[in-house]
Structure formats: structure tokens, C-alpha cells
Amino acid sequence: MDSPHDLQAVFDEIVRLVVDLEDHWGSALFRDVIGLYFSPTRPEEDEWTDHPTIVLLAAEIMRARNRGEVFSDVDAFHSAVFFLLGLYALLTTMRGDAPGRDGLLAKFVASELRSLRTEVVSPV
């Protein structure tokens, strides 16, 4: 995202990219790969601090915080993790052909923004 953008544009783009990845891999493989992140056999030393999508999103949230667009006490790293965990949970439980999935994803983004932003965000 080289052009000027706000946090909603970042969230929307991440949703689009992850959904595209799910479409490319297929639902079964996507769920299996995502399941590896939540496996009890995942190595304890496996930190999410170097996960590229989390790092990118945390940096965007931090920039938004520095611009005064989100609350000053927002923890950018944990907010990025919460967003991605919620997104992965929705995508693994609602298959691509599930009725209302796109609307639910839009409401999810609006809800996440509402929890971070200092201004009111209207639901889609």
C-alpha cells in the first residue's frame, strides 16, 4: 500500500488478500494451514513477532495511532493479532459459499475499527 490510506483500507486489503489466498488454496488446505497456527504441538518458541502480516498490520495501526486516528493506549501488536485471529476464525468456520459471509466480514472490519478508532465508525 504505497499510496496514502487509512486503517479501514488496510483492514479491507488484508481481508481481500487472505480471502484470495483461501480461494487459491481451497478451503480444506486453507483450514489445515491456519490450524497449524493454533495447534497444541506448535513449538513454544514460535513467536508471532516475526509473522510478516502481523508485523505489517501492527506498523499500520501504530502509524494510525501516531496520526491520532486510534486511541493512544492501543497496543498495535496485540490489536493486529486480535484482528487476524478473528479473521482466520471467521474464514475457517464460514466457507466461501456461506450465505452472508461477505456482509459478516464487512461487519467484522467495522467492529474492529470501532474498537480502535477515536471517531465513530458506522457499520456497513
Residue 36 lies in a domain: yes
Residue 15 lies in a domain: yes
Number of domains forming the structure of the chain = 1
The pTM for the full model equals 0.84
Main-chain phi, psi angles of 78, to 5 degrees:
-65, -35
| Domain interval for residue 48 | 7-116
- Cα distance between residue 34 and residue 17, in whole Å: 15
> Rounded to an integer, what is the distance from CA 29 to the centroid of its chain?
19
Write out pLDDT tens, residues 28-70.
Answer: 888 888 877 777 777 777 667 778 889 999 999 999 999 999 9
Residue 124 lies in a domain: no
Residue 2 lies in a domain: no
Mean pLDDT value across residues 88-109: 90
Mean pLDDT of the chain: 87
Residue 121 lies in a domain: no
Residue 12 lies in a domain: yes
Residue 100 lies in a domain: yes
